[in-house]
C-alpha cells in the first residue's frame, strides 16, 4: 500500500466519544453517600469505604460484572456416570464477586462484628459493590438475612452461625462440614403461590420426635429457588400444625447428597449472573426452625432483611445509572455544546440525580434504624418504613434506568455498556421478596397490628416540620387522607398511601440533611402541585448546576 492509500484506509478519527468511566473512586465521588455515612453513625468506616470505593472503580473489577453476566450459569444435573450432582457451573468471575462480597463482610458484618453504625457501614459498602454487579447480591443478601430467622432456633444458630458469618467463600459442591464458610438461600415460592405462601403444599414428615429443632423429611416442590448452590436454605413446609420453617442443607449430616433436586434453571431477563431454579424435594432432610406452625412468623425475619437489602440494591442501581448518564453528558456534544450544558439535558440529569439521592438517603436512614433496634422509635420506624422504602425505591428504579439509558443515546442500548444490565436488573427487586402491592398491604397490616408505627412515622416527619411550606402542606394532606379515607377503602387506596408516605419521608430527610438546593428541588418537583410522571420536568428556578456538580 502506498502512503496515499494507507492514508485513505484510515477512514476517520473517533471524536466526541466519552472515555470509559473507570479508575474512579465510587465512594470519594459520592458526596451524598459520604455525608450519609457520617450522619447515620459510621464515620469510623470512612477509610475502609475509601479503599473499597477505589477498588470498585478499577477496570478489572468492573470487568468481573460484565463477564459474570455474559456467561449464564449452567445446570448440570448428573455427572457422566449418571450420578445426580445438581451442580451449577458459573463463570469464574461470579465466584470472584462472591469471594469479594463475603471477604468484605457484606453477608454478615453487622452480626459478626456488632457495633454502632455496623449496618450503616455495611449498607454503604453493599451500595458500592452492587454498582459493579448486582445479581450475585442475591445469595449475599439471603445469607445476611438468614441470621435473624435462625435466632428463632438457638441450637441451629450455634451450630451454623459461625460458618454463615465467616468471611470465607467456598463455592464447591461439597458438604458444609468440608467448608469454613456457608451461604444460605430461601425457598418459599411454589407454583400455586408466591405472595400467598400459606398455599404452600410441600409437606414435612418428622423422622423421629416432632417440633422445633427436630429432623424432618420434606416432600414437594419449590418454584423459585435462587442461588441453588447455597449450602443450606430456609424453606417453608406444612406439618399437621401448619406452615413451618426449616433449615435444609444441600448435604445430609451423614455427608450424602440431600434430595433437593434442581429441575431446571429459570431463563431470566435480568439478574443473569445469579442462578434461579425450580426444585423438587424428594424426602429432603431438614431441621425445623422456630415454633411449629409459625413458619411465616419465623421466615418473615429473613424476608424483612431481604426487603431492606432491596432498598440498598435499587438505590445502588440508580446511583450507577445517574453517574453513567452524567459522565456521558459531560463528554458528549451535540448541536455545538456539551450535553451537560444544555438546559433540557440539565433538567433530566438533575432530576435523575435527585431521585438517586432521595433513594440513598432513605436507605441509609433505614440502615441506622437497623443499628438501633433497641430504641422503640427506630423499631417502629423500621417496621413501617421498610415496606414503604422497598415499594417506592424499587418501583422508581426501572424508569430511572431507562431515562439514564436514553440520556446516553444509542450507546446506552449497547450490551458493552452497563446500561442494559442496569435496566434488566431494575424490575427484579420490585417483584421478588414481596411485589409492590404486597408491600403496600404490609404497610396497612403494620398499622392495623401496631398503630404506633403510624405515629412513629409521623414523628419522624415532624423533625422537618416548619422548614418548607410545600412539605408541611404535603404532610397535612397525608394526615387528612388517612383520617378521611374510610378504613374499608384503605386497601384500594394502599398505593396512594405508600407513594405519599415515601415521598414525605424522603422530603423530611432531605430537608434535614441535604444541601438546601437539593431539598428545595425535591419539594418543588415531588411535593408540590408541580409533579410529572416523566423525569426532566423540574420547574424553573432550581440550582441544577449545584445538583449536578454534587453528583459526580
Ligand X SMILES: Cc1cc2nc3c(=O)[nH]c(=O)nc-3n(C[C@H](O)[C@H](O)[C@H](O)COP(=O)(O)OP(=O)(O)OC[C@H]3O[C@@H](n4cnc5c(N)ncnc54)[C@H](O)[C@@H]3O)c2cc1C
- Can you tell me the distance from the alpha carbon of 428 to that of 274, in angstroms, rounded to the nearest whole number? 12
Closer Cβ to ligand X, 230 or 514, answer by number: 230
What's the min distance (Å) between Cβ of 138 and ligand X?
7
Closer Cβ to ligand X, 342 or 437, answer by number: 437
Closer Cβ to ligand X, 440 or 518, answer by number: 440
Closer Cβ to ligand X, 268 or 330, answer by number: 268
Closer Cβ to ligand X, 194 or 515, answer by number: 194
- Say how many residues touch ligand X, by CB under 6 A: 25
From candidates 18, 167, 193, 420, binder to ligand X by CB under 6 A:
193
Letters for 261-280 (x = contact with ligand X by CB under 6 A, - = none) are -------x--x----x----
Choose the stretch contacting ligand X; rule: CB under 6 A; options: 309-317, 370-378, 385-393, 435-443: 435-443
What's the min distance (Å) between Cβ of 139 and ligand X?
9
Cα–Cα distances (Å) from 346 to 5, 17, 404, 476, 542, in that order, read 44, 19, 12, 32, 11
- Can you tell me the distance from the alpha carbon of 125 to that of 359, in angstroms, rounded to the nearest whole number? 16
What's the min distance (Å) between Cβ of 189 and ligand X?
4
Q: In sequence order, what DSSP letters do the residues of 9-20 get, joined into one string?
A: HS-----S-PPP
Name the pairing type of β-strands 215-226 and 242-249. unpaired
What's the min distance (Å) between Cβ of 434 and ligand X?
6
From candidates 166, 184, 354, 438, binder to ligand X by CB under 6 A:
438
Closer Cβ to ligand X, 58 or 75, answer by number: 75
Letters for 415-434 (x = contact with ligand X by CB under 6 A, - = none) are -------------x--xxxx
What's the min distance (Å) between Cβ of 115 and ligand X?
30
Q: Which 153-172 positions form the footprint of ligand X (CB under 6 A)? A: none
Residue 198 pairs in a beta bridge with none
Residue pair 309/126 in contact (Cβ under 8 Å)? The answer is yes
- Can you tell me the distance from the alpha carbon of 465 to that of 462, in angstroms, rounded to the nearest whole number? 5
Residue 318's closest CA among 348, 350, 351, 355? Answer: 355
3 state DSSP class of 243: strand
What's the min distance (Å) between Cβ of 23 and ligand X?
32
Closer Cβ to ligand X, 150 or 187, answer by number: 187
- What per-residue string of b and e applies to 227-239 under the rule 16 or more CB within 10 Å gives b? bbbbbbbbbbbbb
Using CB positions, name the residue nearest to ligand X.
194
What's the min distance (Å) between Cβ of 240 and ligand X?
23
Closer Cβ to ligand X, 189 or 506, answer by number: 189
- Grid-cell match 418537583, residue found: 525
Cα–Cα distances (Å) from 217 to 238, 249, 251, in that order, read 11, 11, 13
- Can you tell me the distance from the alpha carbon of 512 to that of 225, in angstroms, rounded to the nearest whole number? 41
What's the min distance (Å) between Cβ of 413 and ligand X?
22
From candidates 18, 194, 420, 536, binder to ligand X by CB under 6 A:
194
Residue 441 neighbours by CB under 8 Å, 6+ apart: 491, 494
Cα–Cα distances (Å) from 46 to 73, 120, 129, in that order, read 35, 11, 15
Q: Does 493 bind ligand X (CB under 6 A)?
A: no
Q: Phi and psi of 81, rounded to 5°?
A: -95, 0
Closer Cβ to ligand X, 186 or 359, answer by number: 186
- Grid-cell match 420536568, residue found: 537
What's the min distance (Å) between Cβ of 84 and ligand X?
21
- What per-residue string of b and e applies to 422-433 under the rule 16 or more CB within 10 Å gives b? bbbbbbbbbebb
What's the min distance (Å) between Cβ of 430 and ligand X?
9
What's the min distance (Å) between Cβ of 437 and ligand X?
3
Letters for 216-245 (x = contact with ligand X by CB under 6 A, - = none) are --------xxx-------------------
Cα–Cα distances (Å) from 521 to 264, 468, 515, 538, 545, in that order, read 48, 11, 10, 8, 12
Q: Which 526-545 positions form the footprint of ligand X (CB under 6 A)? A: none
How big is the chain by its Cα radius of gyration, in Å? 24
State the alpha helices, DSSP H only, in 409-486. 419-425, 428-431, 436-449, 452-462, 469-484
Closer Cβ to ligand X, 187 or 443, answer by number: 187
Residue 418's closest CA among 90, 92, 62? Answer: 62
- Can you tell me the distance from the alpha carbon of 366 to that of 346, in angstroms, rounded to the nearest whole number? 30
Q: Which 171-190 positions form the footprint of ligand X (CB under 6 A)? A: 185-189
Closer Cβ to ligand X, 288 or 542, answer by number: 288
Closer Cβ to ligand X, 285 or 432, answer by number: 432
What's the min distance (Å) between Cβ of 190 and ligand X?
8
Residues making contact with ligand X (CB under 6 A): 185-189, 193-196, 224-226, 268, 271, 276, 428, 431-438, 441
Amino acid at each position: 500500500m502506498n502512503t496515499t492509500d494507507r492514508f485513505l484506509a484510515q477512514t476517520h478519527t473517533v471524536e466526541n466519544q466519552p472515555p470509559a468511566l473507570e479508575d474512579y473512586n465510587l465512594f470519594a465521588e459520592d458526596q451524598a453517600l459520604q455525608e450519609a455515612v457520617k450522619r447515620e453513625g459510621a464515620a469510623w468506616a470512612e477509610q475502609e469505604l475509601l479503599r473499597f470505593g477505589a477498588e470498585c472503580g478499577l477496570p478489572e473489577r468492573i470487568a468481573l460484572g460484565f463477564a459474570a453476566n455474559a456467561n449464564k450459569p449452567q445446570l448440570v444435573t448428573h455427572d457422566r456416570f449418571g450420578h445426580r450432582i445438581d451442580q451449577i457451573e458459573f463463570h469464574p468471575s461470579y465466584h470472584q464477586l462472591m469471594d469479594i462480597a463475603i471477604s468484605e463482610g457484606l453477608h454478615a458484618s453487622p452480626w459478626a462484628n456488632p457495633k454502632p453504625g455496623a449496618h450503616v457501614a455495611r449498607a454503604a459498602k453493599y451500595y458500592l459493590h452492587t454498582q459493579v454487579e448486582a445479581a450475585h447480591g442475591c445469595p449475599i443478601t439471603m445469607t445476611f438475612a438468614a441470621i435473624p430467622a435462625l435466632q428463632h432456633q438457638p441450637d441451629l444458630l450455634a451450630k451454623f452461625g459461625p460458618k454463615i458469618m465467616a468471611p470465607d467463600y467456598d463455592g464447591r459442591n461439597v458438604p458444609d462440614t468440608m467448608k469454613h464458610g456457608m451461604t444460605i438461600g430461601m425457598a418459599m415460592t411454589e407454583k400455586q403461590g408466591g405472595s400467598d405462601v400459606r398455599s404452600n403444599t410441600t409437606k414435612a414428615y418428622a423422622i423421629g420426635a416432632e417440633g422445633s429443632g427436630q429432623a424432618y423429611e420434606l416432600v414437594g416442590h419449590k418454584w423459585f429457588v435462587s442461588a441453588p448452590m447455597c449450602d443450606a436454605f430456609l424453606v417453608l413446609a406444612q406439618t399437621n400444625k401448619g406452615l413451618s420453617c426449616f433449615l435444609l442443607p444441600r448435604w445430609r449430616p451423614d455427608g450424602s447428597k440431600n434430595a433437593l433436586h434442581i429441575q431446571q434453571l429459570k431463563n431470566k431477563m435480568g439478574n443473569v449472573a445469579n442462578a434461579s431454579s425450580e426444585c423438587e424435594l424428594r424426602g429432603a432432610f431438614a431441621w425445623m426452625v422456630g415454633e411449629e406452625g409459625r413458619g411465616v412468623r419465623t421466615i418473615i425475619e429473613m424476608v424483612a432483611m431481604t426487603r431492606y437489602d432491596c432498598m440498598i440494591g435499587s438505590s445502588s442501581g440508580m446511583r450507577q445509572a445517574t453517574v453513567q448518564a452524567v459522565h456521558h453528558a459531560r463528554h458528549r456534544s451535540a448541536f455545538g455544546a456539551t450535553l451537560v450544558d444544555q438546559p433540557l439535558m440539565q433538567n433530566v440529569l438533575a432530576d435523575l440525580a435527585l431521585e438517586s439521592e432521595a433513594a440513598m438517603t432513605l436507605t441509609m436512614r433505614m440502615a441506622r434504624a437497623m443499628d438501633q433496634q433497641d430504641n422503640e422509635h427506630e423499631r417502629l420506624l423500621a417496621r413501617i418504613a421498610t415496606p414503604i422504602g422497598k415499594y417506592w425505591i424499587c418501583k422508581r428504579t426501572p424508569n430511572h434506568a431507562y431515562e439514564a439509558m436514553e440520556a446516553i443515546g444509542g450507546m446506552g442500548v449497547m450490551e458493552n455498556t452497563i446500561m442494559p444490565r442496569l435496566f434488566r436488573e431494575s424490575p427484579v427487586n420490585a417483584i421478588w421478596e414481596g411485589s409492590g402491592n404486597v408491600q403496600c398491604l404490609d404497610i396497612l397490616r403494620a398499622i392495623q397490628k401496631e398503630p404506633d408505627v403510624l405515629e412513629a412515622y409521623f414523628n419522624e416527619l415532624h423533625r422537618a416540620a416548619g422548614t418548607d411550606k410545600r412539605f408541611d402542606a404535603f404532610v397535612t394532606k397525608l394526615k387528612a387522607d388517612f383520617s378521611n379515607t374510610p378504613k374499608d377503602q384503605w386497601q384500594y387506596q394502599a398505593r396512594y398511601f405508600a407513594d405519599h408516605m415515601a415521598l414525605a419521608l424522603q422530603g423530611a430527610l432531605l430537608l434535614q440533611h441535604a444541601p438546601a438546593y437539593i431539598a428545595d428541588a425535591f419539594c418543588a418537583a415531588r411535593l408540590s402541585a408541580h409533579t410529572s410522571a416523566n423525569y426532566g420536568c423540574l420547574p424553573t428556578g432550581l440550582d441544577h448546576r449545584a445538583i449536578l456538580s454534587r453528583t459526580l
